[in-house]
Amino acid sequence: MSYSANKNRYDLMQYRRCGNSGLKLPLISLGLWHNFGEIDDYENCCKILHTAFDNGITHFDLANNYGPPPGAAEVTFGKIFKKDFKPYRDELIISSKAGYLMWDGPYGDWGSKKYLVASLDQSLQRMGLDYVDIFYHHRPDPETPLEETMTALDLIVRQGKALYVGISSYQPEEAAKAFEMLKKLGTPCLIHQPRYSMLDRWVENGLLDLLGKEKVGCITFSSLAQGILTNKYLKGIPKDSRVGRHLENGAISESQVTNEIIDKAKKLNAIAAERNQSLAQMAIAWVLKDERITSVILGASKPKQVSDAIGAIKNYSFSKEELERIDKILNQ
């Protein structure tokens, strides 16, 4: 049976303008980092994407190295896009990135023009797309001149392979230089994608101020701290979790799920309950309370996680007292 999207989907989501651009993004976007690789159940992947779009999530975030193995998430997405989403292409924002190791030899990693252009060509082929809406440089490259990397992003837009460009995981000083270069080239930076959660607040040390000043959008990843800010670990490490199964996936290790962290999660969960939210919903709402945040990327292994997370947008305002109590827990 062919997929037909929920007609009321746009009533279920809120959208924010992305920096100083004409583009709006849903408050919650879907990330395909894990759970869309070769080892994952294809039908479940379909259901996750359907649930997202049926609830007004128009933005699907990928990268060349998402899987496992690298490239597999784009292949999976390409199959589902062709089968179910092709009629909706103009309603979707599809992003990809390059910056991590993808193939052997000196041209398959980091930030050279050679690598970025070739990588995006491969990504488009895997996904069966003519262009992506947003293309990111995935991480700063200490050895390639920043000007070369930014010129490559500008070239990609001029070639029609991407509509907008962004950067990910750049520190404030590097980001400021990148913004200036892209502005001069005539392809302004649309968006920055940093890691940000209650437990990881490095963006508050200058980056958010810079993004606000430069009117660049901000889309966060790991805002649930790889599941720590959900109900998953409140009673310890479940056997079916990625940690419990000892999966080496670059996401989270057992050493990170300490008793101290679980204790903080329990205390935060009590505040969430007072707000009639789950811990995950409150963690997302806490990030969205800042108007400089355009969207939060959600990773999901089950469709229900998507529909549950959307509950966060019902209440993302916090009283001064709530914020003080949260900070007190986090600073213990």
Residue pLDDT, tens place only, 74-128: 999 999 999 999 999 999 999 999 999 999 999 999 999 999 999 999 999 999 9
Task: Please say if the pLDDT value at position 197 is more than 50.
Answer: yes
In sign, the C-alpha dihedral spanning 285, 290, 291, 293 is negative
In the predicted model, what is the mean pLDDT of residues 263-269?
96
pLDDT of 244 > 50? The answer is no
Region at 6 (left for phi over 0; alpha for psi -120 to 50; beta for the rest): beta
**DSSP state string for 39-107:** TS-HHHHHHHHHHHHHTT--EEE--TT-TTTTTHHHHHHHHHIIIIIGGGGGG-EEEEEE-S--SSSTT
Tokens of 49: 């994407």
Average pLDDT over residues 16-20: 97
- β-strand pairing of 132-137 with 162-168: parallel
Domains defined along the chain, listed by start? 9-225+282-315 (3.20.20.100)
| Whether pLDDT at 248 is above 50 | no
Average pLDDT over residues 212-230: 97
Q: Is the pLDDT of residue 35 over 50?
A: yes
Token pair belonging to 27: 């408050």
Handedness of CA 149, 112, 196, 67 (dihedral sign): positive
Which of 281, 279, 273 lies closest to 298, judged by CA? Answer: 281
pLDDT band at 278 (very low <50, low <70, confident <90, very high): very high
Burial of 318 (C-beta count, 10 Å sphere; 0-12/13-18/19+): middle
Does pLDDT of 247 surpass 50?
A: no
The average confidence (pLDDT) of the chain is 95
Q: Is residue 232 very low, low, confident or very high in pLDDT (cuts 50, 70, 90)?
A: confident
Per-state percent for the chain, helix, strand, coil, to nearest 5: 45, 15, 40
Is the predicted pLDDT of residue 323 greater than 60, yes or no? yes
Please classify residue 55 by burial: count the beta carbons closer than 10 Å to its beta carbon, then call 0-12 exposed, 13-18 middle and 19+ buried: buried
Q: Buried (b) or exposed (e) across 170-192, using 16+ Cβ within 10 A?
A: bebeebbebbebbeebebbbbbb
Instruction: Decide: 287 and 296 in contact? Cβ < 8 Å.
Output: yes
Q: Where is average pLDDT lowest: 53-67, 201-215, 228-242, 315-329?
A: 228-242
**pLDDT more than 90, % of the chain:** 91
Lowest-confidence pick of 134-138, 220-224, 258-262: 258-262
- By percentage, how much of the chain surpasses pLDDT 70? 95
Listed residue (140, 132, 123) closest to 164, CA to CA: 132
Residue 51 has pLDDT above 60, yes or no: yes
189-193 and 93-98 strand pairing? unpaired
Q: What is the mean pLDDT of residues 52-73?
A: 98
Tokens (6 digits) for 261:
């962290």
| Helix pair 279-288, 259-274: axis angle to 10 deg | 80
Give the model's confidence band at 150: pLDDT under 50 very low, under 70 low, under 90 confident, else very high: very high
Confidence of residue 255 (pLDDT cuts 50, 70, 90): low
> 1: pLDDT confidence band, cut at 50, 70 and 90?
confident
Structure confidence at residue 254 (pLDDT): 63
The pLDDT-based confidence of 240 (bands split at 50, 70, 90) is: low
Measure the CA–CA gap between 290 and 18, rounded to whole angstroms.
13
Largest CA distance in the chain: 54
| Residue 218: burial class (beta carbons within 10 Å; 0-12, 13-18, 19+) | buried
What is the pLDDT confidence band of residue 213, given thresholds at 50, 70 and 90?
very high
Residue 189 φ then ψ, to 5°: -70, 125
Q: Residue 132: what are its φ and ψ, rounded to 5°?
A: -105, 155
